Chains A and B, each alone.
Chain A
């Protein structure tokens, strides 16, 4: 897998996507409920815990562990045909959110469930950042 090919594929698909606040900064951040403190993911207009609507975007340390991973050998969307084989991981962040992403800088044979990872937002288009992960965070 080429990490650059994955970023290019995301950039290609991003063209058709509306701008979302999720992608607006070079740091990982979540909406934090002003009423109860719950960190929302995916982004939502209402807190799924206490149903309050107010929230503010708060930076997160982006540290977590791989819950599971898979490796795509086929590009179901043609944008990814230059990226196969590429991994998709489900990361459980220590702060709560569970995110689907890609783990960069790793060979498929080194992927492990439970591997400690840390978020690394990458600029896939001018001013648009997507959250990827890289190995290496220490245990909590």
Chain B
């Protein structure tokens, strides 16, 4: 059963304070976000007949625990073992299209900063020898991927630096962002290497926070007090073979998702604002190329020339991204996409934003993308 274009709409968004929220459990933070999203759209929790939660650091975020805490008996509930919100949104679309539910809350909460996750995890899986070789933190995979890109196309560290510098400039216009101090390209280049060729600003900081979106079928949007934002198309791809795929750190299999523009009834040039999940700056370059916003190998000059800035050709991560706003597995990107399409973003509002795209990845194994619109193309 294929959900029709615009059959589902996001009607509510909620995001908590980000950063350090000591003394709060991940599930409490998630329920905080739920309360904010319900308030946003004027619904009561009893209006929800679906709940899709996101398992978070330490094993929190299970639907049965969150449902008990929130005091709800939705008809349908599920937990996804990975974040980025795209996967949750797609599951909700399928649940609504198949009649399992009509109005679903998608939510995520984490206290991983306060709980002491310090990003020591081994970079990848499949063999314990990764850790024995000191291959820790996602910066390792990002550094390998960028060094390869630089080798193939001559991309420079300064060009990469413009991703972090641009996102910081956007974050300065976002009162909810954690990192709002100015960052110039000279500041960036003066930073010591973290995992060369990457520097501190190329990698996000572990943070606490919560986010929630409430989605419903298009025929029910009148029940909400907000302007509906429609899901126009969705796509997923995987590289589950991981290192058995050639060039897997460059995620070549993501480009299969460029069919999303036709599914949405748009061309790529119609996308007004783009969101790219960015635990590492390098992912922004990868997705710009894989979705065709620039040619293969051209992302370095593309970001350096300011084309992803507010006011540029295709503004990217107007919230500041995970690099500067908060590390929320991409959930805040989808919240920001909805707010941009509602026209609620103040100083960082993209003028006349009608269509937004969100691209996200789960490690080097899965990827997803969604296109949202304040209008539904015929």
Chain A residues engaging chain B, CB cutoff 8 angstroms: 6, 9-10, 13-14, 17-18, 20, 22-23, 41-43, 48, 67-77, 80, 83, 85-86, 88, 90, 98, 100-102, 108, 113-114, 124, 130-131
Contact = CB atoms under 8 A, between A and B. Distances in A.
Interface stretch (B45-53, B98-106, B124-132, B332-340): B124-132
Contacts of A14: 132
24 contacts: A17-B128, A22-B127, A22-B129, A42-B129, A48-B244, A67-B144, A67-B148, A68-B144, A69-B144, A70-B147, A70-B196, A71-B143, A71-B193, A73-B194, A77-B131, A77-B134, A86-B134, A98-B243, A100-B130, A101-B129, A101-B133, A108-B196, A124-B132, A130-B129
Task: Classify the interface of chain A: helix, strand, loop or mixed.
Answer: mixed
B94 interface: no
A72 B147 contact: no
Given A48-B244, A76-B120, A71 B129 contact: no
B284 interface: no
A20 B128 CA distance: 9
Contact of A80 (B119, B134, B241): B134
B144 A76 contact: no
Given A17-B128, A86-B134, A100-B135, A48 B144 contact: no
B167 to A, nearest CB: 22
B192 interface: yes
B144 A130 contact: no
Interface in B138-177: 140, 143-145, 147-148, 151
A17 B133 CA distance: 13
Interface of B: 118-120, 124, 126-137, 140, 143-145, 147-148, 151, 192-198, 241, 243-244, 248-249
Contacts of A86: 134
A48 B241 contact: yes
A68 B147 contact: yes
A29 to B, nearest CB: 13
Contact of B147 (A9, A23, A76, A113): A113
Contacts of A100: 124, 129-130, 133, 135
A88 B140 contact: yes
Contact of A83 (B124, B131, B134, B197): B134
B252 to A, nearest CB: 14
Nearest to B244: A48
A65 B136 CA distance: 22
Contacts of A98: 243-244, 248
A133 B194 CA distance: 23
A76 B200 CA distance: 13
Nearest to B124: A100
A68 B145 contact: yes
A130 B132 contact: yes
Contacts of B244: 48, 98
Contacts of B193: 71, 73, 85
Given A43-B127, A86-B134, A113-B148, 16 more contacts: A6-B133, A10-B132, A10-B134, A13-B131, A17-B132, A42-B129, A68-B144, A69-B147, A70-B197, A70-B198, A72-B134, A72-B136, A74-B195, A76-B118, A98-B243, A98-B248
A131 B130 CA distance: 11
A71 B196 contact: yes
A115 B196 CA distance: 18
A38 to B, nearest CB: 9
A110 to B, nearest CB: 14
Contacts of A43: 127
B126 A70 contact: no
Contacts of B118: 76
A70 B129 contact: no
A76 B249 contact: no
A77 to B, nearest CB: 5
A6 B147 contact: no
B155 to A, nearest CB: 13
